[in-house]
Amino acid sequence: MTWNFIFHQNISWDDLEAKQQELIQQVQSHKNEAYLLISEPSPTFTYGRNSNPQELLWSKSELKNKQVQVASVTRGGKWTYHGPGQILIYPILHLPSWGYSSKSVRAFLEDFRTAIREALEKLGCKNLQPQEPFGLYIDNKKLVSFGLAFERTISSHGMALYYSDQSQFFSGITPCGVTHGSTTDLKEKLPQETSWNSVANIVAEAIKNSLSLRLTQVL
């Protein structure tokens, strides 16, 4: 059973999607392999299966001027934004091979979120709370968003941590269908300067350790 960390900064959304599909196919063929796809993509509004077109607030000319792509994704959920200043981490693995039955998706989600929360708290990020829509919040402002997909018990998509201020772009949508929602960012909340790469590595390592622990508990 092995984990692989794959980093892609400054990657286009189309290339990120293609890389994710490549890794899903790898897991389908080699179920003892697991991947954490860690990225910082180009500016993109994405919409899931439950999205409402009216929740995209910017016009075509605004999207063009701000160089923001619009893309559909296979996860559930509604509109969100991904781009520079975010840390996206996608866990791509065959759940039963890592101790999660086909009926334990919620347990997987909770383990995933708890690992991220504990890693951020160790970095000095205080008062993190799990809230709905499913995420991590500080003072009712979202710091980490989640949007996962599961097909044939293989997980894909994942989480977005707002490393730096994202408010300008979130004004272009109604994120997750919540008209009164707002975001915060990690750089504002940490007591000391911590680089994108450092945070990404610390959070990824925490996810790997948490999901690996589940396997040892069921063996």
- Rounded to whole angstroms, the Cα distance separating 182 from 163 reads 15
Alpha-carbon span 153 to 112, nearest angstrom: 16
Active-site residue 125, yes or no? no
Strands (E) located in 73-140: 79-82, 86-92, 129-131, 135-138
The active-site residue out of 89, 148, 173, 176 is 176
The shares of helix, strand and coil residues in the chain, as percent rounded to the nearest 5, are 40, 30, 30
C-alpha dist (Å) from residue 85 to 27, 58, 96, 215: 29, 20, 33, 33
Which residues are catalytic, by number? Answer: 176
